[in-house]
Chain A
Amino acid sequence: MATTQALTRRWQLSGWQRFRFWRVVAWLTLFAITALFVIPVLWMVSTSLKSPSDLANTNWIPQTLEWRNYRDAFSFGQWGRWTLNSLIITSVSTAGAVLSTALVGYSFGRLRWPGRDILFGVVLATMMIPEVVVMIPRFIIFSRMPAYGFQGSSVWVNTFLPLTVPSWLGATGFEIFLMRQFMRNIPIELSEAAKIDGASELRIWWSIALPLSRPVLATVAIFKFQGAWQDFMGPLLYLQDESKYTLQLALRQFEFAAGGAPAWNQLMAASLVVMLPVLVIFLIFQRYFVQGINITGLAGR
């Protein structure tokens, strides 16, 4: 405040000017932060349009625009198949995560039952375990579970099951936590009124809690979509036929494409295209997503 007063005195700024000054500072700061995130993407665009010899230069504008990089990048491999696989795994696990965490979150946030808080503590504790520690034990479990020929495999390994089914069983601790925090904020009076009208808990969840939870549903959906779309380790471990691969595995085929080094131009072209769906989904659900972050951030009543 003292700084503002000093500035006002020195430059004789009026109230309006002062307002404008801080606005400019805020805009500049925001612009700088945005630039941090946008510049790498612009660099990707620039690199994706360069010729191999141009890659060695640090110029932003390619000497010649090599649109053929996009065609070349997708000319080798089963890209149509891999895209379909990514879409299947992502949509199934996103749908599962949204519905199952909404159900679990509802139970933790709005119902009273013995052992609820202890169990919630256990759920939270799972967030503290590093992924890499459970990687091999989890693989062993899935390699013992029968798939009865689903996708031509006798066990869950080499099917989409390990990548999708867990999402239908409560997904991850973080998503449950998010859902619970939000559901606790829905006025309890609404549930009580519904109960008086004879609604069951499932009915209240479906007709009252879910429609009011749109922001957090969108948040979980975006997180899950992004996570599943970009998941590398899961498909790497569980998918063994190339026809079942996802796009994230496929991107790695450019690694030795430049005489043993990565073909950066093709890699960037393919990465940009693969990145698009996440961007589109985010833009569609942006409004809900921001609401969800705001509200869940405020915590319980």
Chain B
Amino acid sequence: MKKLHWLIAVVLVMAVAVPVADISVPTLRTAGTALAQDGETEITFWHFWGSPVRRTAIRRVVAICEAQMDGIKVNEVFKPWGEIWTANIAAVAAGTGMPDVIVEDRPQLPRIAADGIEQSLQPYIERDGLDTSVFWPFVWEQTLYEGESYGIPFETDVRVLFYNKTLLDEAGFDRPPESWDELWEYADALDQWNEDGSLKRMAFFPLYGNVGLDLWAMTNGHEWVQNGRPVIDDPVVLETVQWLQQWIERYGGWEKVQEFLAQYGAPPNDAFMSNAVVMKVDVAGYHSQLAFYRPRTTLADGSQVNMEWSAGIIPYKVEPATWSGGFALSIPTGAAHPDEAWEFIKCASGYEANVSWARDTYAIPTYMEAAYDPVLMAEPIWQFFVSSMEHGKLIPYVPEYSNWFNDTIGLMQEDVWYGTLSAEDMLADAQALVDAEF
């Protein structure tokens, strides 16, 4: 009993003493940033790049900008991916504690702007005459809400077809497939089945990877939003859905495909790195992951070799198309130093900072000219990634119903893949649901 009381007393003393003692510990600064001196303004910049490579890269960007800006210091703070935005929303709602600059999810910007979480940058853009044509056009458009920009693009990606070059070579193909028809031909040569008839290796599955019906319909020439309204019930979309259904049938039905793919997880245990899928659509950044994990491939004779991989355009029916996500630098509503924040954003989204970031991270710059940096262009796969950006397409934001795709087709499509709903019915139902909002 005495012992318990002693324990409680010790914990109590600790509880009071430790936080008090903590005040006397000098505040540590993150490396690379200096404390603001008199007459200088310190702005806070939230990002989610905490790993050594990206942290070092963003610190370099900050250093470049601090050297260019007069009297502005940047305190860059790492916040975990995803939750960074939860913390920002809480702070904006409270009216305090938000950063001066935050990295936003660019495709989400119109919705975020509609919710009033970030400020319009249009007054600054017009005041300083910012040349917005330096960015990839469809990337710039992603930042717009009601004609005003809510973030300046910073870092982008692009969807391409990754292929296991070792296996394509083995099957006698010297280049990746480029059309829907060629995909079938490649699949005939590369699919492998076990003796019991179950699937052993999938050449390609159009719904595996970073791709879906939305992008496939675009490679079939479809424009999802026409005259401000989503167009779903359309022969081109129907043709695309039927093409996807043929792939599902080829591999024994949706359930079988799901069972097969469920054996694999995230990189480095995903189906591509595990040699269960020979070609997949993913973002250019997947190349860095392959370079990090260096997967191996088993050849027909059972020997194992280092996998060689490369990338090609997403196979198309009517026209090449791709889609890019990525980020933008925004100023949260209620930020304490918006003017200084804008100066930093201007610099960080400029040529020099973009080149520095891309050289460090292999992420595609949003500033077009920076993507053609000679050091980066020395690598053939980089040249290909940059050239793919030219096929970039955009699904325009629909203010009347921002989440129309996920709410309709996104929820219904699995029934079509299972075969419990016809493609025609899905498209008609989805169109009716969307039309009801206008």
Interface residues of A (CB under 8 A from B): 52-53, 55-56, 58, 76-78, 81, 88, 91-92, 94-96, 98-99, 135-136, 139-140, 143, 150-152, 155, 157-158, 160, 164, 206, 210-211, 214, 217, 232-233, 236-237, 240-243, 249, 252-264
Contact = CB atoms under 8 A, between A and B. Distances in A.
Interface in B268-307: 268-269, 273-274, 285-296
Contacts of B11: 91, 94-95, 98
B14 A240 contact: no
Contacts of B89: 136
B288 to A, nearest CB: 3
Contacts of B94: 136, 139-140, 143, 157
B117 to A, nearest CB: 12
B14 A242 contact: no
B4 interface: yes
Contact of A254 (B14, B51, B269): B51
A258 B292 contact: yes
B27 interface: yes
List 6 A-B pairs, minimum CB-CB distance, nearest first.
Answer: A259-B288, A253-B50, A257-B51, A252-B80, A56-B268, A259-B292
A193 B91 CA distance: 54
B294 A92 contact: no
Contacts of B4: 210-211, 214, 217
Interface stretch (B52-60, B176-184, B225-233, B425-433): B52-60
Contacts of A58: 269
A161 B81 CA distance: 25
Given A53-B295, A151-B23, A236-B87, A253 B288 contact: no
23 contacts: A53-B294, A55-B268, A76-B51, A76-B55, A92-B19, A94-B11, A95-B11, A139-B97, A151-B23, A155-B96, A157-B91, A157-B97, A210-B4, A210-B5, A214-B4, A233-B83, A242-B30, A243-B30, A252-B50, A256-B51, A256-B54, A258-B293, A260-B285
A99 B11 CA distance: 10
Contacts of A99: 8, 12
A150 B96 CA distance: 17
A263 B220 CA distance: 37
A257 B289 contact: no
A99 to B, nearest CB: 7
A224 B241 CA distance: 52
B252 interface: no
Contacts of B54: 256
B29 interface: yes
A253 B267 CA distance: 17
Interface string B5-16: 100100110110
Contacts of A258: 267, 289, 292-293
A261 to B, nearest CB: 5
Contact of B362 (A88, A98, A240, A259): A259
B209 to A, nearest CB: 14
Contacts of B49: 256
Given A261-B266, A261-B289, 12 more contacts: A53-B295, A92-B19, A158-B97, A210-B5, A211-B4, A214-B4, A237-B87, A240-B97, A242-B30, A242-B77, A257-B51, A259-B287
B79 A255 contact: no
B1 interface: yes
Nearest to A221: B11
A88 B19 contact: yes
B44 interface: yes
Nearest to B267: A261
Contacts of B375: none
A62 to B, nearest CB: 14
B1 A95 contact: no
Nearest to B363: A260
Contacts of B351: none
B293 A52 contact: yes
Given A78-B28, A252-B50, A256-B51, A53 B296 contact: yes
A56 B264 CA distance: 10
Contacts of B196: none
Given A95-B15, A96-B15, A258-B292, A88 B95 contact: no
B50 A52 contact: no
B15 A92 contact: yes
Nearest to B16: A92
B51 A56 contact: no
B93 interface: yes
A151 B55 contact: no
A202 to B, nearest CB: 14
- In this complex, the member of A152, A157, A240, A249 whose beta carbon has the largest number of chain B beta carbons within 10 angstroms is A240
B268 A255 contact: no
A256 B81 contact: yes
B404 interface: no
A140 B4 CA distance: 38
Contacts of A95: 8, 11-12, 14-15
Contact of A240 (B44, B48, B52, B273): B44
A98 B12 CA distance: 11
